[in-house]
Each structure stands twice: as structure tokens, then as C-alpha cells.
Amino acid sequence: MLRSRSAILFWQLAILVVTLSIWEWGFDLCRAVLPRPWVPKILDPYFISKPTGIWRSFLKLGCFADNAGFMSCYHENANNLWLATLVTLKNMWWGFLWGTSLGILTGLVLGRSEYLSQIFEPYIVAMNSIPRIALVPLIILIFGLGDLSKVVTAGIVVFFVVFFNTFEGTRSVDRDQIAAARLLGASELTVLKTVVIPSALAWVFASLTPAVSFALIGVIVGEFIGAERGLGKLIIEAEARANAAEMMVAIFVMMIVGIVLAFFVRRVQAYLLRWQPQFEEKA
């Protein structure tokens, strides 16, 4: 067990070191030893930069490398890495929040009412068939270049994921469990609170991890198409200057944001669903 765990760690580190090495030196090495047409273009630092270059860009964008000092750089550059990340996170959070709330609410209501779900079914199918990203220019037209349009975009993307899962979860609640609760004296509202919601929670949570990624996608795409600040804006600006290193910095920051948020969702999920076998506490 110990041996295999250290072996896994070894291979993981090996992959990391090899990837970074090829990224850093691969192109120069190929150019030195291979005839010109055989040099892989994809490794050109013009396209993918280099780990050291990305690090230097990170220090610059993060205001660590400025002679004037951190604070003055922070105030001078309105879209420095910190502010851009904060703005993107903030928009993502509000979009995630309203999208999730509305998704859960709608899912519960339609899931509990056969009548309403039949009325709304064609509209939901139609709305769901629209690629959400196609709505972004329209949303920016309506809500402007500011943060609101990003919040709306992220929310719409999140809404459908959470809605469908909550709806399915609500529909698949065990009818006998509901009958048992009613026979023990539960009112319709008590059944909702003590049986339907706890039972559907597993489904809701299954949608929250993708919902976090989708919220990030929604905000970034919104920023691509039109924004004043944010990580997406940072990428678009770097693209205009053909600066691969800066784009890579923003991409890495997004990766880290994604990892951290997914971790938090997992923790909350593991606590609330501790009655399920896959979240059993490891003794």
C-alpha cells in the first residue's frame, strides 16, 4: 500500500517535471538538433510561452516585480491580476448564487407539481436547446459592459444545470417514503422539508460541481465579448498584444480558482450527504 502510494506520487511528479521541461527547453532543443521543417510549431514559445516566461508575467501582472512597489502598481493598473481575479470571482459568485437558487426553487416546484411541469415542459425544452453562449452578446446589449451582464450570463448557465438535476431529484423521491411521512402526520410542507428536499439533495449536489465550472465559463465568455475588467478581459488584452505568457497566467489562475471552489463544494456535500455510503467518514 505504502509502496504503491509513493509510486503513484513518483509518476505524478515525473509527468509534471517532464511536461515543464519540454515546455521550457523543448523548442530550443528541437531547433538545435532537427532540420527546420521537423521542428514542432506547437512548441514555439510565441504560442505557448515558457514556464519561466509565465512566471515572470505572473510577477509583473501580480504587481510583485514593479519598481514603484506593490501598492502603487495595484492602484495604477485597474486590471491587475488581483483585481481581475476578484472581479471575476465576484461575478461568478453572484451568478452562481442566483442561478442555483432559482434552479433549485423551480426544480422543486415543477418536480412536485405534475400539472405545472406539463405546462412548462415545451418551453423548458426549447430554452434548453439554445446554446447559452449564443445569448451572451444579447445579454451584454441589455445589461451593458459592466459586471451585471456577467452575473446574468453565469446565472443562466448555472440555472439549467441545477434546475434539471433538482427536477429529476424531486421526481425520483420514493413515493412510499412520502406516504410514510404523511401517515406519521406530516403536512404537505413538512413532507417537502423533511422528505423531498433531503432526498433530492444528492441530485442537487451532483450538479453543483459542474455548476461552479459553468459559472466560471459564463463569466469568462461574457468578459471575452465585452467587459471593462476581469480575467477574461485580461486574456483578450493579452491576445491583442500576442502575449501568450499573460494569457497563460490568467488560465492558471482560473485553474486554481476552479480547484479551490470544487474542493469547497465537495466538503459541504460530504457533510450534508454523510448518510450516503460514498461519503462515509473514513475511520
Partner 1 sequence: MRIGVANLDMRYWTPGGDVNAVENVSFEVAQGEFVALLGPSGCGKSTILNIVAGLLDRTSGRVCLDDEEVRFGYVNRKVGYVFQRDTVFPWRTVEANIGYGLEIAGVPKVERQEKVKRAIEVSGLAGFDKSFPRMLSGGMRQRVALMRTLIMEPEILLMDEPFGALDTHTKLEMHKTLLEIWERERQTVLFVTHDLGEALTLSNRIILLSARPGRLKEDFVVPFPRPRDAVSLRETPEFGRLYSHIWHALGEEFRRTKAE
Q: Is 174 in the site for partner 1 (CB under 8 A)?
A: yes
- Furthest CA-CA distance within the chain: 82
In contact, 107 and 162? CB cutoff 8 Å: yes
Selected from 101, 194, 209, 213, the binder of partner 1 by CB under 8 A is: 194
**Minimum distance from residue 261 beta carbon to partner 1 (Å):** 25
Q: Interface with partner 1 includes 177 (CB under 8 A)?
A: yes
Q: Which stretch binds partner 1 (CB under 8 A): 134-142, 188-196, 229-237, 263-271?
A: 188-196
CA separation for the pair 231, 223 (Å, rounded): 8
Is 206 a residue that touches partner 1 (CB under 8 A)?
no
Contact between 270 and partner 1 (CB under 8 A)? no
| In contact, 265 and 224? CB cutoff 8 Å | no
The reply to whether 267 sits near partner 1 by the rule CB under 8 A is no
Cβ-based nearer residue to partner 1, 28 or 188: 188
Closest to partner 1 by CB, 194 vs 243, is 194
User: Does position 181 bind partner 1 by CB under 8 A?
Assistant: yes
Q: How many CB atoms lie within 10 A of CB 232?
A: 26
Q: Determine how many CB atoms are found less than 10 A away from the CB of residue 5.
A: 9
Q: Which stretch binds partner 1 (CB under 8 A): 60-68, 142-150, 195-203, 235-243?
A: 195-203
> What's the rounded Cα separation, in Å, for the pair 67 and 54?
19
Task: Find the part of the chain contacting partner 1 (CB under 8 A) among 18-26, 135-143, 180-188, 220-228.
Answer: 180-188
> Cα dihedral sign for 196, 201, 207, 208?
positive
How many residues sit close enough to partner 1 to count as binding (CB under 8 A)? 22
Does position 201 bind partner 1 by CB under 8 A? yes
Sign of the torsion angle spanned by Cα atoms 218, 220, 221, 227: positive
Q: Residue 55: name the closest of 266, 195, 188, 252 by CA.
A: 252
The footprint of partner 1 (CB under 8 A) covers: 174, 176-177, 179-186, 190, 194-195, 198-199, 201, 273-277
